[in-house]
Each structure stands twice: as C-alpha cells, then as structure tokens.
Amino acid sequence: KKLALINGANLHLLGKREPHLYGTTTLHDIEQRLQAQAAQHAIELIAFQSNHEGAIVDFIGEIGLLAARPVDGIIINPAAFTHSSIAIRDALSALNKPFIEVHLSNVHAREPFRSHSYFSDKAVGVICGLGDIGYDMALQWFIKNL
C-alpha cells in the first residue's frame, strides 16, 4: 500500500515557527517518524511539502490519476491553504481516495477565519489541536483501515 503525507505553506519552518502554537518538532522529524512507522506495516509513505498551491495540485495529480500505481490515501495539513484553496480541494476530489486533514493547532480556538476549511466536509476525519501526534493518529487510521 502507498500513502502520501502533504504539508502546505510555512510548514517547512516547523520547530522554529511560533513554537507555542506549532511545537518544537521539525517537519523532517515528523516525516521520518511516520515513514518508519508506515514501513513497519509494509506501507510506502511519500512526503511532500510546498509553499506553492499549484505545486501541491501538481503533486496530487502525479501521485494520483497520472500515476501507474496511485496512492491509497493522503494525510494532509494544507496549512493556510485550508482556508483558501478550492484548487487543492478539487485535486483531492479528482483523486477520489480517502484523506485525513491534520492541523497542529486548534484552528477553532484562533482567529475566526481559521474555522472554515475547504477540506473538512470531504475528509474521512479531521484532527486538530493535538500537535504533531495528530499526524501519527492519522497514520494509525490508515494502518487499521487500508
């Protein structure tokens, strides 16, 4: 089986970026941890981060409809694109595979504009406010349900 872990804008700065909100663990650490955990269950996990909306749309196409062996599911933290991107939403709808939306912070306890997501109604589930273990929980769901 094959999964993708996708992180959006500014998440390459994890560990340094507003650590009171987003924690001190780096994205590299999270990606390595999830890849190791996935490998134990014979799952290949491809990690991708971009600050560019179109690059994420391209990536979802490449690992999805354009791939010889498409991914079976996606764990995604769209970051700021959560609140703005119809294009990434449409890319996930086109792919038509289960995805889980993760946020490190509790988006509902922050500015009101963070409460709206273009992804949640299409997601299998949404995990927010639990820090980086939210990613591990999403992977656990796929391990159990793939």
Binding site for ligand DQA (CB under 6 A): 10, 77, 79-80, 82, 103-105, 107, 114
Q: CB of residue 73 vs ligand DQA: minimum separation in angstroms? A: 19
104 assigned binding-site residue:
yes
Active-site residue flag, 118: no
Active-site residue flag, 103: yes
Looking at beta carbons only, is 64 or 78 nearer to ligand DQA? 78
**What are 84's two structure tokens?**
């703005």
Q: CB of residue 141 vs ligand DQA: minimum separation in angstroms? A: 18
Return the SS3 of 116.
coil
Q: Give, for 103, the enclosing helix (H) or strand (E).
A: strand 99-103
d(CA 137, CA 146): 14
Using an 8 Å Cβ cutoff, are 44 and 2 in contact?
A: yes
Q: Considering 12, 20, 22, 28, which one is annotated as catalytic?
A: 22
Q: Give the angle subtended at the CA of 98 by the CAs of 59 and 81, to the nearest 5°.
A: 50
Q: Considering 12, 20, 41, 103, which one is annotated as catalytic?
A: 103
5 assigned binding-site residue:
no
Q: Which residues have a catalytic role annotated? A: 22, 103
